[in-house]
Structure 1
Amino acid sequence: MILKRLASGFTALVMCVALAACNTTDTSSQSSSTAATAEAAPVESPAPAEESPETASAASLRVAGLKGPTTMGLCNLISDSEGTGEYDFTMYGAADEIVPLLVKGDIDAAAVPANLAATLYQRTEGQVQVACINTLGVLYILEQGDTVQSVADLKGQTILTTGKGTTPEYVLRYVLEQNGLNPDTDVTIEYFNEATEALSQLQAGRGTIAMLPQPFVTSALSQVDGLRVALDMNTEWEAVAGSKLVTGVLVVRKDAIERDPEAFSAFMDGYAASVEAANTDLEGTAALCEEYGIVAKAALAQKALPECNIVFETGSEMKTDLTNYFQVLYDADPSSVGGAMPDDAFYYNAEA
């Protein structure tokens, strides 16, 4: 296998979704909003002697990942398949690095923010499908204090966050509105380009409330005295939307599936097992997250994993949860999902 890893110079913290992780920006989503913006500098491992790199690349399923939760569930599969030549993995710092590669067919599949997958479907005129949901909501409201016990308690407050014009903004505004608050008059929302900027404001005492994604939340809790998780946006979203808050998915080109359907099915089986390991073997998975540059430090990854909502959701359940999620985004801003709701052909094996 040709395993491409991030150079050690990759900047530290993840995501982010990004609202998709979360963030998003997606370019669009959370994942990408808190992910490092440096370009990936993958290092190629030597190809097996009996085949050239070109042959291995042609035979491999080329998979891209982002730093943070959307790729944490893949790391066990990366490790298990190392040396087999089945998969060619590359890590990137931001979702917008992946988009042109997937559109041109230079990669076959990618773990990306959910709404970016919908945008890619429109941009490629249906040449990609969503294969699974890999991450549910990773956004949390943090407070340095003890005044926020419900969404209603945010009235009159200033909220520091990331993701202006992307998933985090849509999620926050929707939850506020559904709880009777006007996002434009009842609260003050201050947006920053990266989660580190919002954290610096908290550290400097220029704010006490922030909405941030995992695993950055875990890091922030250790850096700011008195900081606590006040609200889980997963819980708040489900309470008003009646569906799951989705952050990340795996999107795949149709021609890659058609090239070898059985091989792709085997990949999905391996992915499911990898996610299971990510939720049960925290120490081992955390070590791999650091090794592959998905999270800066294993200790941070191990603490954050239980809060990252890593899943492997496929078929009709995936379709239902994504349709509900996309509808909320579409109603807020059609461009957030590529200008139109994805049709049934977007969903891989959705009747299974």
Structure 2
Amino acid sequence: MKRMAALCLALVLTLTAAACGKKEEEQPQEVTGEQYSVAALKGPTAMGLVKLMHDAEQEDASFVNDYTFTLAASADEVAPLLIKGELDMACVPANLAATLYQKTEGEIVTLGINTLGVLYIVENGNAVRSMADLSGKTIVASGKGSTPEYALNYLLEQNGVKPMDDVIVDWKSEHSECVSALATGAATIAMLPQPFVTVAQSKLPDLRVALDLTEEWDALDNGSALLTGVVVARREVVESNPAAVDAFLSDYAASVEWVNANTADAAALIGDYGIVEAAVAEKALPYCNIVCITGTEMKDKLCGYLQVLCDADSASVGGAMPGDDFYYGV
């Protein structure tokens, strides 16, 4: 009996030691933080960052990484800095990310989607209730030869409307011209992005959102999505410390969640940073489709969207579809 008891005790001690050893092995290693310079464009693609931007400026900030942020008026300001290595990460239009990937021979990686579609069909009237209702109509829009045109044509085609034959699109050079055309009565239907929709409605109280093009795309149920912006990083940055990049994405996701849950406070920060006027931001935020989508879901949605653009004009994505190494975490 004593021998049996001793054997049982030895077995218990062995199992306990093994369990403790396993727990020690499972302890996550401490992440070494990095100093990241991040840029974003003034508009919806920067809105989800504002909480992170604000908190990173505080003396008691407790992030793993140190962040500095730059806000730019256009992608033309950001792209050269990213290519030269003066920026680590940037929030840019989805198709520009693919173009930079090709231009740098694969040195740009997409970390996540930060903004879904922000395009809407607005109308002074009640004639448009579906994409099919656009047949025989005239639409004012801005963005000919770029992603808004390709997205509109794709949705029209998928709904049985021939873009060149069934619909007249009066292309303007700027969104503000579309708003002016609506205001003067020269047009009754327009394709506009947020926050210009909100701006237009402030001037034209009877202007109605007829179609949300993001919802129209989702209704096709093909796994892709209408996108506006993504967050990218230089491959050197990603490969040097993936854990720090993951920490950034976690911080970004928390910022997006806060922005979507605290519209008024988020709008105030957006105004403070000069991204969009606070009053406009508060009304527009619920319709800006700000997200932080990563991994396989990011790849599926982004790849499908880029394929639509590539089919319309391969130059819009840099000449060819990006490879699998363009998508982080998959």
- Interval containing the TM-score (normalised by the shorter chain): 0.7 to 0.9
Shift of residue 149, structure 1, vs aligned partner: 1.1
Offset at residue 326 of structure 1 (A): 1.0
Match of 2:68 in 1: 88
- Aligned twin of 2:11: none
Q: In the alignment, what sits opposite 2:310?
A: 330
In the alignment, the residues of structure 2 paired with residue 240 and residue 81 of structure 1 have an alpha-carbon distance, to the nearest angstrom, of 40
The 5-angstrom pairing of residues 1-352 of structure 1 reads 60-83=35-58, 86-240=66-220, 242=222, 243-295=224-276, 297-350=277-330
- Aligned partner of residue 184 in structure 1, secondary structure: helix
TM-superposed deviation, 1:241: 5.9
**Normalised TM-score (structure 1):** 0.80
Q: Return the alpha-carbon distance in structure 2 between the equivalents of residues 257 and 138 of structure 1.
A: 29
Distance 1:303 1:225, change over 3 A: closer
Check conservation: 1:158, 1:190, Cα contact below 8 A: yes
Aligned-residue offset at 1:63: 0.6
- Alpha-carbon distance, 1:258 to partner: 3.0
What's the secondary structure of 1:142's corresponding residue? strand
Deviation (angstroms), 1:261: 2.9
Instruction: Give the Å deviation of 1:264.
Output: 2.1
Computing the radius of gyration from Cα coordinates, the structure with the larger value is 2
TM-score when scaled to structure 2?
0.85
Report the CA distance shift for 1:151/1:177 in structure 2 as closer, same or farther (over 3 A): same
Task: Number of aligned residue pairs: give it.
Answer: 291
Give how far 1:187 is off: 1.1
1:109-163 Cα offsets, whole Å, 9 max, x none, are 1101111101110011111100000011110000001111111211121111111
Distance 2:274 2:171 in 1: 27
Partner Cα separation in structure 2 for residue 343 and residue 203 of structure 1: 45
Paired letter, 1:247:
T
- Deviation string for 1:268-314 (max 9, x for gaps)? 1110100000110111111110111111x112111111111111100
Contact 1:130-1:348 within 8 A present in 2 as well: yes
Query: Whose relative contact order is higher, 1 or 2, with alpha carbons under 8 Å and at least 6 apart?
Result: 2
1:99–1:241 Cα change, 3 Å: farther
How far residue 265 of structure 1 moved from its aligned partner, in angstroms, is 2.1
Considering fraction of residues, name the structure with more helix: 2
Same amino acid, percent of matched pairs: 56
Superposed CA offset, 1:172-218 (max 9, x none) = 11111111211112111111222111101111111000000111111
Give the counterpart letter for 1:223 in structure 2: K
| Letter matched to residue 147 of structure 1 | A
Structure 2 unaligned blocks of 5 or more: 1-33
Distance 2:305 2:221 in 1: 8
